[in-house]
Amino acid sequence: MRRSKEDSEQTRTAILDAAERMFCEKGYAAATVESISRAAGLTRGAFYWHFRDKAEVLGALHGRTFLPQEKILTSAIAPDMPDPLGCLFVAALEALRSFEVNECEQRIFRIMSDLTIEQDGREALARIHAEMRTLIGTVMRRAQANGTLNPAVTVAEAELYITVTIGGLLAEWLTSSKSFPLALSGERLLRHLMTLLRADQGDIPRRCDSPPGRAGPELGS
């Protein structure tokens, strides 16, 4: 039974790995279930045992790549978190540092940015993006509730600023053939943005301070 479960996980991983390669090489629209299955050394039946369609594969690829950053963001929305904006800054910078050295994350971002993605894939992407915007929006509402969000900035505006800034940084870095240091430039830009968003207009903390008894992530040097 245990071996059967391990085999199933290996098959699922093989499909995801093959889909990632096919989406990058051919584009989402041109990569078929048949080509993905063949690249994974499996049958179409094996593919459909694990996934309904390419859109579900797309969501699974995103989930296995970006989940760590989303976990960090989740800590920032805790009702007792004293500085949700500081935690968001830490999460965003950690994501940029990871993205800069992680070719898998870079490939997934390129796939997610593919304008040829069909309707089913666009719907999956819309759900993924909506979930992330909701998470960022929750952070902003926490900041608004505890008085750390600049009262001149609405929650919707703050969410948009963060989403566009990070997404734009990643896209420009890739399309410019990585012509600037992503994490370093991103940290400077995010510090300016966070100063605008913070009610106290003060310095951004270097760690995500958690309530007593719960350690938060810390920025490196």
Distance of CA 208 to the CA centre of its chain: 18
Average pLDDT over residues 171-181: 95
Half-sphere exposure of 26 (CA within 13 A, CB side): 15
Same fold flag, 8-51 and 53-197: no
Bigger pLDDT: 1 or 48?
Answer: 48
Residue 193: pLDDT above 80?
yes
Query: What does the pLDDT look like over 38-82, one tens digit per residue?
Result: 999 999 999 999 999 998 998 898 888 765 456 657 666 677 778
* Fold topology of 53-197: Tetracycline Repressor; domain 2 (1.10.357)
Highest mean pLDDT among 2-11, 63-72, 129-138, 189-198: 189-198
3-state helix, strand, coil in the chain (%, to 5): 70, 0, 30
Bigger pLDDT: 217 or 202?
Answer: 202
Give me the pLDDT at residue 221, please.
39
Domain map (residue ranges) of the chain: 8-51, 53-197
Residue 99: pLDDT above 80?
yes
CATH superfamily for 8-51 is Homeodomain-like (1.10.10.60)
Residues 6+ apart with CB under 8 A from 177: none
Half-sphere exposure of 221 (CA within 13 A, CB side): 0
Lowest mean pLDDT among 21-25, 144-148, 201-205: 201-205
Give me the pLDDT at residue 156, please.
95
Residue 101: pLDDT above 70?
yes
pTM of the model: 0.76
Please state, in angstroms and as integers, the Cα–Cα distance from residue 119 to each residue in 100, 113, 122, 124, following that order.
30, 14, 5, 9
* Percent of the chain at pLDDT exceeding 90: 46
Give me the pLDDT at residue 49, please.
95
Average pLDDT over residues 110-121: 78
Give me the pLDDT at residue 203, please.
57
